[in-house]
């Protein structure tokens, strides 16, 4: 696996590739959910490029950025074992040499759900994703359904800017107890980890959004939102018995 540390190195590497190229963008702290994206990419494409970049512009809370887990050595081993061809690991200074003067904003869907609670979050996401797509120039982009709103926005970005990329959604990978795999899960205390699966269990019920919110609160969650849109229920909660709460998001299809 080639490790590429700068945009120039990535562009030089990409210039030597032909045919289909799959891309898996991540912020590191990898788990089986990320590896599922790689497996799908390996199954369908000859070459797979992954990236690890903790994007500062999508964090509206500096403490959240500071506490985000970073596991470079372990992440590299996992990706190499998964037979990723190249790993792009730039710095913030390289990705934002313009000082973030140029940004990509979506004006409708991004202001709801996670966008309502995290102002500027999706502008940061869409801006860095467009930069990455311009550098990698993939034929296929793999995204997890756990971040379904993000998937929808990135797919919209690809369509709006006429990028010749197929965006593929990969189903959420869950722990045996139903908790959606997330890099943030490792920040849960032992007590909170036992409570966390109730988020998915309650969210998946056929109860109304209002009743789901009440039940989550009764279980000790702080609810940011629960909202059903076009047959899919989205939820975001915070859980923490000590110190700062850990933010969990999930979404499920709700049968009529």
Q: Is 34 a catalytic residue?
A: yes
Query: Residue 80: enclosing H or E segment and its boundaries?
Result: helix 72-81
Are the C-beta atoms of 84 and 78 separated by less than 8 Å? no
Query: Residue 39: enclosing H or E segment and its boundaries?
Result: helix 32-44
Residue 193, helix vs strand vs coil: helix
Closest to 234 (Cα-Cα) out of 226, 244, 242: 226
Closest to 89 (Cα-Cα) out of 67, 73, 102, 100: 73
Q: Which of 34, 40, 121, 140 is catalytic?
A: 34
**Torsion sign (Cα): 111, 113, 117, 120:** negative
Residues taking part in catalysis: 34
């Amino acid at each position: 696996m080639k490790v590429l540390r700068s945009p120039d190195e990535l562009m030089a590497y990409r210039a030597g590739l032909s045919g289909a190229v799959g891309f898996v963008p991540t912020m590191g702290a990898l788990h089986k959910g990320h590896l599922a994206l790689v497996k799908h990419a390996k199954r369908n494409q000859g070459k797979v490029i992954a990236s690890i970049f903790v994007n500062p512009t999508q964090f509206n809370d500096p403490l959240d950025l500071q506490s985000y887990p970073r596991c470079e050595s372990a992440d590299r081993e996992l990706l190499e074992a998964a037979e990723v061809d190249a790993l792009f690991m730039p710095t913030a200074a390289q990705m934002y040499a313009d000082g973030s003067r140029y940004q990509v904003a979506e004006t409708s869907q991004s202001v709801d759900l996670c966008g309502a609670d995290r102002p500027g979050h999706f502008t940061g996401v869409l801006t860095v994703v467009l930069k990455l797509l311009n550098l990698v120039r993939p034929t296929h982009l793999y995204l997890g359904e756990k971040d379904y709103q993000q998937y929808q926005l990135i797919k919209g970005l690809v369509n709006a800017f006429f990028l010749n990329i197929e965006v593929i959604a990969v189903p959420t990978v869950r722990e045996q107890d139903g908790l959606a795999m997330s890099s943030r899960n490792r920040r849960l205390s032992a007590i909170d980890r036992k409570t966390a699966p109730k988020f998915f269990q309650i969210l998946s019920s056929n109860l109304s959004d209002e009743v789901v919110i009440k039940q989550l609160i009764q279980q000790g969650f702080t609810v940011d939102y629960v909202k059903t849109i076009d047959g899919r229920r989205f939820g975001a909660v915070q859980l923490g018995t000590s110190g700062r709460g850990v933010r969990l998001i999930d979404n499920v299809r709700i049968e009529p």
